[in-house]
């Protein structure tokens, strides 16, 4: 039986509300209202954020090393598929091509996402899995609006505004120090200044 694939994209990363010292990666359906929140650890979030923001660390991170090995060995990562979920743990596959042979490798979803972003390859899940675990953003937004009177306030946790030049200097220092969590926050601050 063939399962229908649905294209996803890494929409954003933020601190997890439900899991202390964890992050939530939001995988959004391309061209649709559904998304999958995926809880990952700090190191996994860092690996995804570095690739998502096109940051260039001074030394290669583990996923950069894997990409370099794939490149040298002429292995192409063609797609990543989030295949299943059991008790809150998601499973994924790397679909690779080597010497005209297609090879499927089992992978943690966080690693698969970090690699997909580095290779620029598509990310998929299956329709049945998205129906099972996905959240419809339109319905979620309606629920939130129904429970709040008036417009929701803007987040008060955003970093203080600074001049663009100061933030760029701080961002470069964070990258040089390999503090990618801080670098991601500073990148967000730079975006808000634009």
> Residue 155 has what pLDDT?
41
- Mean pLDDT over all residues of the chain? 83
Q: How many CA atoms lie within 13 A of 20 on its CB side?
A: 0
Question: Please, which residues have CB within 8 angstroms of residue 131's CB and are 6 or more apart in sequence?
Answer: none
Phi and psi torsions of 145, nearest 5°: -65, -35
> Residue 67 has what pLDDT?
95
Q: How many CA atoms lie within 13 A of 165 on its CB side?
A: 0
Q: Max CA-CA distance within the chain?
A: 60
Beta strands 22-29 and 34-41 are: antiparallel
Is the predicted pLDDT of residue 182 greater than 50, yes or no?
yes
Average confidence (pLDDT) over 22-45: 93
Name the strand (E) or helix (H) holding 108: strand 101-108
Average confidence (pLDDT) over 34-43: 93
Q: What is the pLDDT of residues 137-166, one digit of tens each?
A: 876 655 554 555 454 444 433 343 446 777
Q: What is the pLDDT of residues 64-103, one digit of tens each?
A: 999 999 999 999 999 999 999 998 899 999 999 999 999 9
User: What domains can be seen in the chain, in order of their start residue?
Assistant: 5-152 (3.10.690.10), 153-194 (no CATH)
Question: Please, which residues have CB within 8 angstroms of residue 114's CB and are 6 or more apart in sequence?
Answer: 44, 47, 48, 51, 63
């Amino acid at each position: 039986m063939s399962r229908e694939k649905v294209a996803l994209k890494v929409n954003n990363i933020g601190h997890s509300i439900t899991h202390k010292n964890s992050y939530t990666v939001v995988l959004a359906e391309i061209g649709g209202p559904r998304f999958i929140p995926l809880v990952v650890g700090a190191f996994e979030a860092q690996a995804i954020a570095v690739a998502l923001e096109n940051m260039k660390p001074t030394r290669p991170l583990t996923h950069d090393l894997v990409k370099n090995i794939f490149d040298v060995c002429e292995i192409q990562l063609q797609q990543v598929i989030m295949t299943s979920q059991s008790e809150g743990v998601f499973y994924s596959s790397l679909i690779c091509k080597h010497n005209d042979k297609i090879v499927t490798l089992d992978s943690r979803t966080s690693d698969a996402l970090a690699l997909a972003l580095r290779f620029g390859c598509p990310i998929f899940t299956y329709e049945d899995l998205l129906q099972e675990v996905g959240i419809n953003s339109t319905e979620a937004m309606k629920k939130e609006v129904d429970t709040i009177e008036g417009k929701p306030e803007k987040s008060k946790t955003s970093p203080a505004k600074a001049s663009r030049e100061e933030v760029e200097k701080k961002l470069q220092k964070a990258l040089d120090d390999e503090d990618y969590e801080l670098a991601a926050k500073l990148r967000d601050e730079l975006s808000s200044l634009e």
